[in-house]
């Protein structure tokens, strides 16, 4: 992985409010803005208090069905992002086998930086491999993302102008979606289009390059272009920062709802809201009221909801594996109990399946230098309590 690739990847989760350091400073400190916000404005319980609350929870699972089987029995799709690049994935037969047995859905990355290195050049090497693998193994594929303000090649800023922005954007979306037409279940058409940081627009729409040259209509343009290129694909707006009960999240929820209402009123062909759900293991107990209301409001617009990038950050949890795994499992179970109670939630995708491959390992390092354990399976592909927690959530969810 190149240094530039890593630097861009580290800035993926960008979410901050006035008074917090700039993105550059935070990236230098290997802290995402979302985590800075969380630790500044949310009072956490002590580790001892949280563990005491969890002692009676055994995370018992009945039967030997996989996560995808448990989810399917309730009308829910379960999947996981492989996280490994195509070369690592191709060499790891054990991991591939586990992913196929546990998952029905798999996202494939279609980032501008990797897929369009030059204005007139596309590179589909990686996505072709994953789509072929998914098709052969009867997996539903998710494309992520078509339009995102991050992870752009340098030529974009140097080339895009008011005169050519629409042509470049529509050409990009059309080219990628047409290539995989009929093979992609759903697309994250626009990713993280809301920004509630200091100096934000009144409507919360991010001041991205596309916003600068095309205005807020760029979202509608992207969705309509994707729909024309593949009318069967389900089109999703994907974002983060809506789960917790605190001021910054209140603003983010409101801005996203306003955007969704705008898209619906414009007749934009949007199928679902994608909620990333990068959770924090040291947020206990989970306070669900505002999140429940948000899900209800999204569903009332006639939209489905997809949990798209679920994982649990364990950076500040105890080093003891038994204690840490219990807290991570509790974060999964408490969150999914709320999310899956809303029948508009039709899929759950974890951002990784095994701790062998996780983006969280690459930054926000633990002070004790212990390896992170944010996912359902450990590095050896053995199920953890997190797997039990997800399984239990599916088992208890109402049918769709």
Residue 372 Ramachandran class (φ > 0 left, ψ -120 to 50 alpha, else beta): beta
Question: pLDDT-derived band of residue 160, with 50, 70 and 90 as boundaries?
Answer: very high
Tell me how crowded residue 29 is: count the other CB atoms within 10 A of its CB.
Answer: 12
- The answer on pLDDT for 41 being more than 70 is no
Does one domain contain both 27 and 149? no
Rounded CA-CA distance 194/240 in Å is 9
Instruction: With 0.85 as the threshold, say if the pTM is over it.
Output: yes
DSSP label at 360? G
Q: Does the pLDDT at position 100 exceed 80?
A: yes
Average pLDDT for 84-96: 97
* 350/211 Cα distance (integer angstroms): 30
Set 102, 192, 243, 309: catalytic member: 309
Average pLDDT over residues 360-383: 96
**pLDDT exceeds 60 at position 18:** no
CATH number at residue 253: 3.20.20.80
Rounded Cα gap, residues 80 and 352, in angstroms: 5
What pLDDT shows up at residue 284? 84
Q: Which of 174, 183, 206, 210 is nearest to 128 (CA)?
A: 183
Which of 227, 223, 226, 143 is CA-nearest to residue 185? 143
Examine the domain organization and report whether 252 and 335 are in the same domain: yes
Instruction: Give the separation between CA 312 and CA 351, rounded to whole angstroms.
Output: 9
Same domain, 20 and 151: no
For residues 43 and 57, the model is more confident at 57
Among 225, 188, 189, 192, residue whose Cα is nearest residue 208: 192
Domain span at 32: 1-41
Sign of CA dihedral 304, 240, 88, 155: positive
- How far from chain centre, in Å, is Cα 142? 11
Instruction: Give tens-digit pLDDT for 176-232.
Output: 999 999 999 999 999 999 999 888 899 999 999 999 999 999 999 999 999 999 999
Task: Compute how many other C-beta atoms are within 10 angstroms of the C-beta atom of residue 210.
Answer: 26
Q: What is the CA radius of gyration of the chain?
A: 20
Q: Are residues 366 and 256 in the same domain?
A: yes
What whole-number distance in Å separates Cα of residue 93 and Cα of residue 383? 17
pLDDT at 124: 98
pLDDT at 14 over 60: no
Q: What is the pLDDT of residue 397?
A: 98
Which residue did the predictor score with more confidence, 58 or 31?
A: 58
Specify the range with the lowest mean pLDDT, choosing from 1-10, 46-55, 92-101: 1-10
Q: How many domains does the chain have?
A: 2
Same domain, 229 and 115: yes
Instruction: Between 54 and 86, name the one with better pLDDT.
Output: 86
Q: Would you say residue 4 has pLDDT above 70? A: no
Which residues are CB-neighbours of 80 under 8 A, at least 6 positions away? 99, 102, 103, 105, 106, 349, 350, 351, 352, 353, 376
Instruction: Note the pLDDT of residue 46.
Output: 54
Q: What is the pLDDT of residue 304?
A: 98
pLDDT for res 50: 65
Which 8-state DSSP code applies to residue 255?
A: H
Read off the pLDDT of each residue in 264-286 and give the average, rounded to a whole number: 96
* Residue 172: per-residue pLDDT: 98
pLDDT tens, residue by residue, 52-74: 677 678 899 999 999 999 999 99
Q: Is the pLDDT of residue 42 over 90?
A: no
Residues 150 and 249 in one domain: yes
Q: Are residues 180 and 267 in the same domain?
A: yes
pLDDT at 198: 84
At residue 268, φ and ψ (nearest 5 deg) are -65, 135
pLDDT at residue number 33: 40
Whether 309 is a known active-site residue: answer yes
* Whether 82 contacts 353, CB under 8 Å: yes
What SS3 string covers 33-95? Answer: HHHHHHHHHCCCCCHHHHHHHHCCCCCCCCCCCCHHHHHHCCCCEEEECCCCCHHHHHHCHHH
User: Domain check: are 278 and 366 in the same one?
Assistant: yes
Q: Is 140 found in the same domain as 15? A: no
In 3D, which of 269, 111, 102, 261 has the Cα closest to residue 194?
A: 261
- pLDDT at position 56 is 75
Place of tokens 């990038």: 309
**102 plus 251 within the same structural domain:** yes
Same structural domain, 210 and 354: yes
Residues 14 and 153 in one domain: no
């Amino acid at each position: 992985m190149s240094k530039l690739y890593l630097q861009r990847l580290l800035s993926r989760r960008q979410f901050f409010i006035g008074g917090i350091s700039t993105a550059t400073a935070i990236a230098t400190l290997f802290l995402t803005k979302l985590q800075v916000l969380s630790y500044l404005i949310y009072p956490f319980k002590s580790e001892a208090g949280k563990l005491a609350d969890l002692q009676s929870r055994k995370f018992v699972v009945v039967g030997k069905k996989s996560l995808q089987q448990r989810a399917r029995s309730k009308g829910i799709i379960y999947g996981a992002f492989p996280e490994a690049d195509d070369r690592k994935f191709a060499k790891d037969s054990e991991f591939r086998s586990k992913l196929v047995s546990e998952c029905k859905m798999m996202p494939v990355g279609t980032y501008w930086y990797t897929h369009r290195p030059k204005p007139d050049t596309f590179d589909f090497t990686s996505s072709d491999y994953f789509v072929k693998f998914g098709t052969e193994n009867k997996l539903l594929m998710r494309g992520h993302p078509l339009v995102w303000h991050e992870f752009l090649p340098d030529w974009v800023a140097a080339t895009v102008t008011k005169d050519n922005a629409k042509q470049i954007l529509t050409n990009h979306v059309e080219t990628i979606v047409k290539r995989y037409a009929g093979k992609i279940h759903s697309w994250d058409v626009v990713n993280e289009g809301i920004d509630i940081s200091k100096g934000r627009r009144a409507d919360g729409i991010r001041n991205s390059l596309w916003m600068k040259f095309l205005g807020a209509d760029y979202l509608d343009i992207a969705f309509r272009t994707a729909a024309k290129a593949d009318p069967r694909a389900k089109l999703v707006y994907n974002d983060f920062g809506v789960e917790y009960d605190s001021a910054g999240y209140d603003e983010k929820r409101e801005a996203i709802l306003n955007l969704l209402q705008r898209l619906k009123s414009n007749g934009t062909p949007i199928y679902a809201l994608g909620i990333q759900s990068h959770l924090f293991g040291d947020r206990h107990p989970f306070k669900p009221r505002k999140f429940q209301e948000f899900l209800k409001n999204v569903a009332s617009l006639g939209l489905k909801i997809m949990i798209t990038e679920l994982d649990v950050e364990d950076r500040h949890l105890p080093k003891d594996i038994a204690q840490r795994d219990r807290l991570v499992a509790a974060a999964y179970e408490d969150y999914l109990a709320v999310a899956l109670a809303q029948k508009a939630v039709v899929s759950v995708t974890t951002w990784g399946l095994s701790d062998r491959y996780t983006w969280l390992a690459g930054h926000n390092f633990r002070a004790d230098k212990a390896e992170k354990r944010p996912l359902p399976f450990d590095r050896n592909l053995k199920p953890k309590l997190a797997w039990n927690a997800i399984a239990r959530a599916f088992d208890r969810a109402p049918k769709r």
